[in-house]
Amino acid sequence: MFPGGGQPNMQQLLQQAQKMQQDLANAQEELARTEVDGQAGGGLVKATVTGAGELRALVIDPKAVDPEDTETLADLIVAAVQAANENAQALQQQKLGPLAQGLGGGIPGLPF
């Protein structure tokens, strides 16, 4: 429903949609440039991902490397990458969530 029961101003709606689309594109570009970290094992393994979830760096403290126990190292790496991705998803929600709500709900392909 529109206030007063009138018809929507199509030009105004189109302008709003274009602005929201531009805001979304700008937010996605910012996410692709922003890096977030995750860590595991008390900082023995650190992963850096972009806000879009692209793995950029992985730092492994030599203390985490035990040739007799590579499974623990693998678990630490997975945990650090997962933590970084969780931080990236939180950043996505923060940056894109308000835009998605402005479009009437979730945007297909986005995790919220």
pTM attached to this predicted model? 0.67
Helices (H), 10-69: 10-33
Average pLDDT of the residues in 76-89: 95
- Cα→Cα distances 101→27, 43, 73, 74, 108, Å: 14, 36, 40, 38, 12
Kindly give the interhelix angle for 70-102 and 10-33, rounded to the nearest 10 degrees: 160
SS3 111: coil
| E strands in the chain | 35-40, 45-50, 55-60
Q: What are 99's two structure tokens?
A: 């835009």
Q: What are 84's two structure tokens?
A: 């970084």
In the chain, the percentage of residues whose pLDDT exceeds 70 is 80
pLDDT in tens, 31-78: 888 999 999 999 999 999 998 889 999 999 999 999 999 999 999 999
d(CA 108, CA 101): 12
